Structure 1
Amino acid sequence: MQVGAALKKIRKEKKLSLEELSELTGVSKLTLGNIERGETNPTVGILWKISKGISLPLMTLFTSESSVNIYRAGQGLRFASEHKNWIIEPIFKNTNHDIEMYRAYLRPNSSYHPEAHHSNTTEIATVMAGSVSIQVNDDIYSLNQYDTISFRADSPHSYLNPTGNETVLHITLKYEV
């Protein structure tokens, strides 16, 4: 419901109808209305489409009134990909809306192919547990625990966990504003 309320507020501030928002984001008017009313839990893919369509960082859809926040692993907001093989937990956004941090979980023997992010966005991923192969454009990079990679997130990229264990990542997105 928190996402729905934030989305409705942003839509009203931008003076957009549900139909206009649908055209901008590529998300159906029905789905957007259901999200705003808190009647559905959007997938992370849908959230990225909305974020990109309204040209605001993803974390703008999550509000926090406190100046001190604790984000405990496995508690609080969690968003899954369509096939539930990729789960993210928002853990930080700064007030300038140019940096966001997430805890991400990639299920064993699975992959995740995110939507391209906003133009000129940098993604920084650190493996906290397990290992992962990350494809950026046509190149594949293998990372083990505590390895970090940085790349342009508006480029095609994907995450692959070829192991029988869950991979945990810390992901930072840096938006050029």
Structure 2
Amino acid sequence: MSVSEGSVRGMLAVNLRQARLERGLSISELSRRSKIGKATLSQLESGAGNPTIETVFSLSRVLEVPISDLLDARPAGELTVVRAAETEALSGEGVDLRPLQRIESGEAVIEVFDQRVRAGRRQDSLGHVGTEHTIVQAGRLGVRVEGREVELGPGDYVRFDAARPHSYTALDGDVRSVLLLQYRSDQRLHLPHPAPGPRSAP
């Protein structure tokens, strides 16, 4: 089955290889640093793998690049509409993330995600580049950052250094939230973008 460059797998395949080469890393060395098997990395670079949140965040941490340098979020336009049914989710142990938009303004880069934490599940992260902002829309969310825990309800907001180990837990049913990842523009590799693949018009 062919993989379009517009899919999460297709974009990750192109961008992962470019980021790895930019850092001067072999697949073996990237495997050692990220604790991801060489066969898995080879599959991801060929577009045949099945990336998870854990994998992408681990690669972001090791390569020291924003998530969008790996997933190639949509460029901004005068009017951008992202339909829920047309956006591929990146899933992990407890979370489904849908990349919506990357916003660049001056020295700031902000990635916007629709985030769902599944009922009774927890999503752990060892940390990654950037500052994390979460706004809860529905449900009750437990957030743990280096041993400190807070509970958030609808309308509540939390901000923390994403480089620190952290986790999200759905405390009462599914949790819907908006996740913003903020970076400095100098933290990006400024990778050349691949030719756009087939994509629905806004």
Do both share a fold (TM > 0.5)?
A: yes
Q: Specify the SS of the correspondent of 1:31.
A: helix
Q: Is contact 1:125-1:172 (8 Å) kept?
A: yes
Q: Is contact 1:45-1:115 (8 Å) kept?
A: no
Q: Is contact 1:57-1:98 (8 Å) kept?
A: no
Tell me, which stretches of 5 or more residues in structure 2 are unaligned?
1-9, 188-202
1:105 aligned residue (98, 104, 116): 116
1:61 aligned residue (45, 66, 70): 70
Q: Which residue of 1 aligns with 2:175?
A: 167
Shift of 1:13: 3.7
CA distance 1:149–1:74, shift in 2 (3 Å): farther
Residue identity matched to 2:63? I
Deviations 1:36-58 (A, max 9, x none): 11111111101011111111101
Distance, in Å, in 1 between the alignment partners of 2:41 and 2:134 is 30
Distance, in Å, in 2 between the alignment partners of 1:28 and 1:40 is 12
Matches within 5 A, 1:20-169: 20-63=29-72, 66-68=75-77, 69-81=80-92, 83=93, 85-95=94-104, 98-118=109-129, 121-163=130-172, 165-169=173-177
Q: Specify the SS of the correspondent of 2:181.
A: strand
Shift of 1:64: 5.4
Residue identity matched to 1:101? V
Distance, in Å, in 1 between the alignment partners of 2:154 and 2:124 is 21
Distance, in Å, in 2 between the alignment partners of 1:93 and 1:67 is 7
CA distance 1:16–1:117, shift in 2 (3 Å): closer
Higher relative contact order (CA 8 A, sep 6+): 2
Q: Normalized against structure 1, the TM-score is what?
A: 0.85
CA distance 1:18–1:156, shift in 2 (3 Å): closer
Q: Is contact 2:68-2:111 (8 Å) kept?
A: yes
Q: Specify the SS of the correspondent of 2:150.
A: strand
Distance, in Å, in 2 between the alignment partners of 1:32 and 1:39 is 10
Shift of 1:137: 2.2
Tell me, which stretches of 5 or more residues in structure 1 are unaligned?
none
Residue identity matched to 2:58? K
Distance, in Å, in 2 between the alignment partners of 1:109 and 1:47 is 23
Residue identity matched to 2:181? L
CA distance 1:3–1:70, shift in 2 (3 Å): farther
Shift of 1:76: 1.5
Q: Normalized against structure 2, the TM-score is what?
A: 0.75
Distance, in Å, in 1 between the alignment partners of 2:116 and 2:13 is 24
Shift of 1:65: 6.8
Please list every run of at least 4 consecutive aligned residues from structure 1 whose deviation after the TM superposition is greater than 6 angstroms.
none
CA-based RMSD: 2.1
**Aligned length, in residue pairs:** 172
Q: Is contact 2:60-2:66 (8 Å) kept?
A: yes
